[in-house]
Amino acid sequence: MIINERQYLITQAQAAKFRDALAAEPAAGLHPKALKAMRDGARSQLDELEEQLAEYDALRTGKVVSFKMDSITGIGDALVKARIIRQLTHKALAERMDLAEQQIQRYEATRYAGVSIERLQAVADALNLRVNEVFTLEKE
């Protein structure tokens, strides 16, 4: 997942390189199966990068206002997405919470792994993120 403008620009540049590589003439003497494998790999990488770019664009332009997480472990991704939707930088969120910008960067780098439930709630509150909890017991 792309979490900031810097990563977005880097991902755009990587995608452009894959597009150029796919448009380029293949190297002479390359076995057709090897060529196909290389092109399939490049296409797969490009598809993944374009998916990430589209997700970030949808988040930062407000096309997404809610999302579903299937696990408690998804709370980190939800907080990152909410920050992007709110168009807040790490610095702006840190200021709302009276924390250092680097602390928000560390939280997001690990998707808030190991962060207390109280801190997760404080971040959600700072983002005005409403969480609807549904707990379902699966059959054993």
Report d(CA 120, CA 92) in Å as an integer.
17
The series of mean pLDDT values per 10 residues for the chain, 140 residues long, is 96 97 87 92 97 97 88 92 96 98 97 96 96 83
Write down the pTM of the prediction.
Answer: 0.84
In 10 A of CB 3, how many CB atoms? 19
b or e along 76-91 (b: 16 or more beta carbons within 10 Å of the residue's beta carbon)? Answer: bbbbbbbbbbbebebe
Determine the pLDDT at residue 66: 87
